[in-house]
Structure 1
Amino acid sequence: MRAIFAAVLTAAAAVAAPAFAQEAAGPAVPASAMPNDDTGGDFYVVGIGAAVLPDYEGSDDYGFTPVPAATGRVSGFNFLLAGNRASVDLIRDGVGPTWDFQAGPIAVVSLNRNTTKGIDDAQVRALGKVGTAIELGGYVGIGKTGVITSQFDRLSASISYRKDVAGGHGSTVLAPTVTYVTPLSLKAIAGIFVSGERVGEGYADNYFSITPSQSFASGLPVYNARGGWKNWTLGAIGGHSISGDLRSGWQLFGTVVYRKLLNDFADSPIVARNGSSNQWLGAVGVAYSF
């Protein structure tokens, strides 16, 4: 099973959380969400997808963007690279159905609204750009292979914490995630995940507040957003082998994600007046496992 779950999580990496047209970020799911394979050996999965994402976080306008992703295992260490997100599990996995403890670094480059290009809404464009955020932090988690349907299905839970060190929003992001993935056959696999995000005051101010000067430029009302729980996310993921065996060769993947913005983030004029608190994300693509 060394590549089956990795292929599907590569799909999830395309649009999990957070994901914006400018950002194309990876998942709240870290690399260690992959289950143990049946050999304990190294493997790699590389993929490219086309994602449909909002123009900005909270937008009701959508566009297409390419999303590259890669995941795998080297000497027992899992890694994940998805768009602008990277993580590594520094605790080596065991072999076969077992418990898996996870911990490691995670990094995200947030490009949300760092340019006004690609934003259809003229009033939101008039708010101006937000600086690029480089969020560094870590995660911990636990997973279990062989839970419900077979010795190969996988349930995992993790929580990550990141801090912007580049001054884009200068704040923090806390993200818990639960993922369940199960093989349907050697050719197909499916899974679901649920996650949430709690952010600091700086994140709320930079992306959802509107200052008096921004109000004058855009015509939107002045608004002061406070930090807190920003959203919850529910997604479905799936993969199907082109070559007939998900353990190697070419695979198709797809994912559909619903995200609900909450609290001051949903009430911000860029969401309540000019966008929507109901965010839909999706991606389809191809991956190769070896």
Structure 2
Amino acid sequence: MPIALFLAGAMMAATPLAAQAQTAPASPPESATPPESPPPAPEKNVLEGDFLTVGGGLIYGPSYEGSNDYIAQPIPAMLGRIGGVTISPRSGGLALDVIPDPKGAKVGFSFGPTATYSANRDRHIVDPVVRAAGRLDADIAVGASAGVSVYRVLDAYDSVSASVDVKWDVRGPTGGMQISPSLNYITPLSKKLIATISISAKHVNRDYANYYYSVSGQQSLASGLPLYQARGGWASVGGTLIMGYSLAGDLRKGGFSLVGIAGYTRLLNDARDNPYTAIRGTPAQFVAGGGIAYTF
């Protein structure tokens, strides 16, 4: 589970608070004559209109997909809305939403391009046997993202969103394709604390599976792992709990926020059965981490 996900979830989770109403001051007793005074100025809400959030953190997770060796890695993330275009982070990349939601909408839609960079088994391989099989080329994948969101589901400030990313490799495993659906529930627990629950999965085609999960004759000779020929299909499913805490005391005021995550992913089919996972690693993938973000 990439750090970009938990940074994005916690930082973007603040968005429903943009519509939160302010509590009016208590009315004075009827017998008293209140002095004339101007109405209070509305509280600042940086999430209305254009804004940008930048952040970074440390994630502790598997050294490669399917590994049982864990490492800590620092990774940055960015999100925001500029000129009606929403910027959402992805693992090693970004997605753009070019369909702005009308203010106060009950249902919103998203669509736009996405691009990511992956260094899976390109570096940080702790296992000497997997390392002997050879490093893989870092990959750049480009595609599109689309989704739908429903606001104010259980209360005035929560939301449920479903989305899917479809990407093709443009550098690395030729012809590799990934389809990644996800379902997210976001709810504020207070003005400064927010939670996100996310369920996601990954489906890959034969070219992608062959590059990452197969053991070729050359790789077998170099590492001692048995030959294995992978096919496409569902590769993983997982869930994540994300928490965000505003150091300013109100997520709508921007400034610094702390982010935390706990996640679990289960590898499936060839992602689970290949020798890199079944012999040298494990299909159970846990992550934990934390970070800090600044919104302005």
TM-score, normalising length: structure 1: 0.86
Q: Does the 8 A contact of 1:67 with 1:82 survive in 2? A: no
Q: Superposed, which structure 2 residues align to 1:123-202 within 5 Å?
A: 123-148=129-154, 150-202=155-207
Cα distance in 2 for partners of 1:133, 1:91 equals: 28
Partner of 1:208: 213
Unmatched tracts of structure 1, length 5 or more: 1-11, 18-25
Give the corresponding residue for 1:69. Answer: 77
Instruction: Identify the residue that residue 37 of structure 1 maps to in structure 2.
Output: 18
> Secondary structure at 1:129's aligned position in 2?
coil
> Which residue of structure 2 aligns with residue 104 of structure 1?
112
Percent identity, aligned pairs only?
Answer: 39
CA separation of 1:109 and 1:103: change in aligned 2, threshold 3 A: same
- Distance in 2, Cα, partners of 1:163 & 1:183: 35
Give the deviation of 1:16 after TM superposition: 3.8
- The letter of the residue matching 1:284 is G
**Residue in 2 that maps onto 1:22:** none
Match of 1:231 in 2: 236
CA distance in 2, matches of 1:207, 1:180: 31
Cα offset, 1:205, TM superposition: 1.1
Q: Structure 2 vs 1, CA of residues 32 and 90 (structure 1 numbering), >3 Å: closer, same or farther?
A: farther
On the 8 A contact 1:43/1:74 being kept in 2, the answer is yes
1:54 aligns with 2:62: yes
Match of 1:276 among 282, 285, 295: 282
Query: Which is further off, 273-282 or 31-40?
Result: 31-40
- The runs of 4+ residues in structure 1 deviating greater than 6 Å are 26-29
Displacement of 1:163 after TM fit?
0.4
Q: Which moved more, 1:118-127 or 1:92-101?
A: 92-101
Which residue is equivalent to 2:26?
A: none
2:5 and 2:89 in contact (8 A); partners too: no
8 A contact 2:13–2:187 mirrored in 1: no
Q: 1:230: how far off?
A: 0.2
Partner of 2:295: 289
TM-aligned CA deviation for residue 64 of structure 1: 0.6
After superposition, the C-alpha distances for 1:118-168 in whole angstroms (9 at most, x for unaligned) are: 2111110011111122111001110011111x2210100011100001133
CA contact (8 A) 2:110 2:148 kept: yes
* Paired residues of 1:111 and 1:133 also in contact (CA < 8 A): yes
* CA–CA separation in structure 2 for the residues paired with 1:220 and 1:152: 52
Deviations 1:14-51 (A, max 9, x none): 2549xxxxxxxx9799x899658337411121111101
**Larger of the two Rg values belongs to structure:** 2
Q: Contact between 1:97 and 1:152, CA under 8 Å: does it hold in 2?
A: no
TM-score by length of 2: 0.84
Question: CA shift at 1:80, angstroms?
Answer: 2.1
Cα offsets for 1:237-270 (capped at 9, x unmatched): 0111112111222111111110000012101111
Flag structure 2 segments of 5+ consecutive residues without an equivalent.
20-46
